Structure 1
Amino acid sequence: MILIFLGVLILVAGTVLKRSASAGSRYGGVATTVGIVVIVLGIILSAFKTIPPGKAGVQTLFGKVQNNVLESGLHVINPLVDVTPFNIQTQNYTMSAIHSEGDVSGDDAIRVLCSDGLEVTIDLSVLFRVDKNKAPFIYQNIGVDYIDKIVRPVARTAIRDNAVNYQAVDLYSTKRDEFQSRIYKYIASNFAKNGMELQQILVRNISLPASVKASIESKINAEQEAQKMQFVLQKERQEAERKRVEAQGIADYQRILSTGLSDKQLQYESIKAQKEIALSQNAKVIIMGNGKTPVILGNQ
């Protein structure tokens, strides 16, 4: 487009020189020729437009936005049309308390008051993409700075409007998923009205006041101690039960022995044991009997 206008200026200048009576009039023909060449070159270059991958081209002709969108690739278009590329890939906008993580330098975390009056600090990442077919609408009604006009304020408003329905401790623990689901619906609905698609939101961190953190840690430690004590008591009960079963087994064994063995059986078992000792290489003299008629066995 610039080359076309430049060529027109050169052509007009050449025409003026040709009609003038000055000494420079002899250069009028050359200037006219150069102007025509520049115009033709500008038309050729402007008629071919390449859209990079992941982009969509929005066409504007004399300030009027065209509805047809140029997809990635090479296109032959009206040389007078201006093309504005729009990023249609997934984009990530992060608001974080850590200076090097967020899109805005410095502490950009969201600070909100919960229903219990406590202030919490929330880090949030928003994953979204521009709807390719809605790119002309965005360009005409919002502009290319849609992140500053839509993404950032909508995300921060969603956090603040929904955090007031929760207590700080609930946001930190049991109702975190519910809170994230609610702000997702809020942001997705608003983005859809403005030609964008919300893909995912990530509540990356929720920081509580120091006093609340200390209270939660104390509660967790107490619960862990209680669980540890329950484990110890359970282990002691199991050990007591084991000892009871062992004692019962010994008592049953002794009862069976006392009621099931006769004197003759005991005498027979004694003789067997002493015989085995007598047959041993280490045995020298074995006295067997009930003390009245002893029997002496030896290895001689």
Structure 2
Amino acid sequence: MFVLSIVLLIAAVVLFLVGRHQEVTGWKVGAALSGVAGLLAATFACVHVVSAYEVGVPVTFGKTGTPLTSGVHFKSPFTDVTSFSTRPVDLDLNGKDVVEVRSSQGGVLYADVTIKWAVVPAKAVELYRLAGSEEAVEQRLVLPDAREIIRNVFAKHTSEEGYASAREQIGSQIADLVKERLAPRGIDVTTVNLRNVRPSDKLQDQIDKKIQQEQATERATEAARTAKAEAERKRIEAEGIAAANKIIERSLSDKVLYNQCLEAYKEAAKANPVYAVPCGTDANGTPVIVDSGKR
């Protein structure tokens, strides 16, 4: 704009001189218009408007100045102003930008992360020196630092912790470290959301095999426990039968058997004619009751 104003002013002077020598009104009018346009261009070159939710960094001959807040500012025509938006920006690390990490066991995981960050207006000059532009802030500072921290945190945990048991803890650690790393550089990180963690295909196969092995082990353990319980039940049952037989054996003396035979004889004699014969190896043996009504 400043160069244009110089050109217009030079054109105005030339037209004025030509018109003066030739005494042509048109040349003088053109000189006047060029002069006015040059002055307007020079004025605009010395004025810069910073939009709302932006901060400007003035640079004059390679030297940065004080950050410019939103509003109208007068500046040197040799000063360039680089604007930075102060609105929160979402950096989505998913899809083709998903972060590939490795656990402490070497398993490959894929982490989907969203980072919400914004430029701190008071530190816009430091950001300009580090990155140079608003687009470069994300590409040179937020993105590489976030990826590095995410990988380092996951490397301290096992695969199972990474995608299941410790996800909340890992997300909290990542958020704290990202904020701590970027805050001194003039980047305010408000939210770090660990949205999803999924294992690679190879790791998923290993997980499935491990689950199947654990289930098989549980079934074998349960079968062994059932067999042991059944064996214990049978042992206790056998011991009970053996103890009962010993009691019966001790209680079945000759006198008891003789008395039972007599009782049986009495019962049989009530319905049928019976007779008794001695039983045993001698005449004093236990009597045997014989029913004479049956041949």
| TM-score with structure 2 setting the length | 0.61
Deviation, structure 1 residue 171: 1.0
The answer as to whether partners of 2:14 and 2:31 remain within 8 angstroms in 1 is: no
**Runs ≥4 in structure 1, deviation > 4 angstroms?**
16-21, 23-32, 215-222
What is the letter of the counterpart of residue 86 of structure 1?
F
Deviation, structure 1 residue 45: 3.1
2:162 is paired with a residue whose SS is helix
Alignment equivalent of 1:159, drawn from 135, 150, 169: 150
The answer as to whether partners of 1:60 and 1:66 remain within 8 angstroms in 2 is: yes
1:85 is paired with a residue whose SS is strand
The answer as to whether partners of 1:115 and 1:167 remain within 8 angstroms in 2 is: yes
Deviation, structure 1 residue 147: 0.5
Aligned match of 2:91: 93
What is the CA–CA distance in structure 1 between the aligned matches of 2:6 and 2:57, rounded to whole Å? 26
Aligned match of 1:233: none
The answer as to whether partners of 1:58 and 1:65 remain within 8 angstroms in 2 is: yes
Superposed CA deviations along residues 158-210 of structure 1, whole A, max 9, x for unmatched, are 11122111111011122212222222232122212321111111111100132
What is the letter of the counterpart of residue 77 of structure 1?
F
Does the alignment pair 1:147 with 2:144?
no
Deviation, structure 1 residue 38: 1.9
**Aligned-residue CA RMSD in angstroms?**
3.1
The answer as to whether partners of 1:17 and 1:24 remain within 8 angstroms in 2 is: no
Residue 220 and residue 197 in structure 1: after superposition, are their counterparts in 2 closer, same or farther (change >3 A)? farther
What is the letter of the counterpart of residue 120 of structure 1?
L
Deviation, structure 1 residue 86: 0.9
Superposed CA deviations along residues 248-300 of structure 1, whole A, max 9, x for unmatched, are xxxxxxxxxxxxxxxxxxxxxxxxxxxxxxxxxxxxxxxxxxxxxxxxxxxxx
The answer as to whether partners of 1:131 and 1:196 remain within 8 angstroms in 2 is: yes
Does the alignment pair 1:187 with 2:181?
no
Equivalent runs, 1:49-128 vs 2, <5 Å: 49-67=48-66, 69-72=67-70, 74-78=71-75, 80=77, 81-97=79-95, 107-128=96-117
Residue 33 and residue 213 in structure 1: after superposition, are their counterparts in 2 closer, same or farther (change >3 A)? farther
2:194 is paired with a residue whose SS is strand
| TM-score with structure 1 setting the length | 0.60
1:9 is paired with a residue whose SS is helix
Superposed CA deviations along residues 83-130 of structure 1, whole A, max 9, x for unmatched, are 322111111101102xxxxxxxxx211112211111111111111111
1:70 is paired with a residue whose SS is coil
1:166 is paired with a residue whose SS is coil
Does the alignment pair 1:173 with 2:164?
yes
Deviation, structure 1 residue 63: 3.2
Q: Where does the alignment leave 5 or more consecutive residues of structure 2 unmatched? A: 220-295
Which one has a bigger Cα radius of gyration?
A: 2
Aligned match of 1:133: 122
Between the aligned residues of both structures, percent identity stands at: 21
What is the CA–CA distance in structure 1 between the aligned matches of 2:74 and 2:146, rounded to whole Å? 38
